[in-house]
Amino acid sequence: MVEELNQYILPSTLMQCFDAYREENYKEAIKLVPEPTLAWFLVLLNRYRGPEDRKDSLLEVFDPSLYTENHPAWERPPGRIIELPALTSEIVDRAQKDSEMTKVAGQEILHFRDHADTYDDEELMQPGAIAKAGLADMEKAFETRDEVVRYLALNASSRIEDLWVAGASEWLEAPARRIEFPDMVARRRGQLAGQLAPSLTEKDFVCYSDHELRTFACDMRSLFLHDRSRHLAVCTKCQLRLEAWTKIVSDFDKHGMNKKGRPDA
């Protein structure tokens, strides 16, 4: 349901543009994979990660923005280029042979191989493609089963995520990934114009004024009677602005009441 709603919201930050790009790649990767198979892949990866680190979707398992809550891309305006930390599989390639990272990585690869034994080579290529899509690593190519096992094991490992939390020096010292992607705001607008009926017009994408938002916050019925009510469905910025105004009005009403619940003159 969340993914269905997200497709009607225009990205308002660089990170949201990147997430929209990931979602499109993910949908393309799973297009021909039956739902029961996808469910089994998620079971496989959650068993590998352990009961304390379960994820609700494959897209969450392979999330390159993990632990980037303070990344400047969350505040920057929409764009087409983002820099993110190197993938775990790349970090392990750079690690010293006798390091803790290398030791944990070796154990995790063996652990995942045990979980993946029931899948043949062709079947295992499917979660490999899904992982590449989620991680925005589309140029990655697999030639052998061992390469897929290694890639999935390292980039889905909760134990290696714990190493990141304990000390992210390996990721900070490694060259950042520079990822370029299409203009997702323009693409979403085009998709919305074709999905919503009647078609969205240019004025539907114009943000509300502060006066309009104050009016909505005081009386939500005015929003539904507004000639651009659909704008709220496609604009994260105005959603947040309306939420802030609603809170202001609510706080004012709350403090304006006396102890008996009546307006305090």
pLDDT tens string for the chain (265 positions)? 344 445 556 788 999 999 999 999 999 999 999 999 999 999 999 999 999 999 999 999 999 877 677 889 989 999 999 999 999 999 999 888 888 999 999 999 999 999 999 999 999 999 999 999 999 999 999 999 999 999 999 999 999 998 888 887 888 788 999 999 999 988 888 777 666 556 677 888 889 999 998 998 888 888 878 888 888 878 888 888 888 888 888 887 666 555 554 545 4
Residue 101, domain member (yes or no): yes
pTM of the model: 0.72
- Please tell me the total count of domains within the chain: 2
Instruction: Answer yes or no: do 26 and 68 share one domain.
Output: yes
Residue 151, domain member (yes or no): yes
Instruction: Answer yes or no: do 46 and 161 share one domain.
Output: yes
Cα dihedral across residues 10, 16, 20, 21: positive or negative = positive
Instruction: Answer yes or no: do 154 and 36 share one domain.
Output: yes
**Cα gap 157→203, rounded to integer Å:** 46
**Cα gap 221→52, rounded to integer Å:** 44
Instruction: Answer yes or no: do 168 and 207 share one domain.
Output: no
Number of helical (H) and strand (E) elements in the chain, helices listed first: 15, 2
Phi-psi region of 260 (alpha: psi -120 to 50; beta: other; left: phi over 0): alpha
Tokens of 57: 């979707």
Instruction: Answer yes or no: do 103 and 229 share one domain.
Output: no
Residue 112, domain member (yes or no): yes
For Cα atoms 162, 132, 95, give the angle at the middle one, nearest 5 degrees: 45
Looking at 120, 149, 180, which one is the last position of a domain? Answer: 180
Residue 188, domain member (yes or no): no
Looking at 120, 147, 180, which one is the last position of a domain? Answer: 180
- Domain extent at residue 209: 201-265
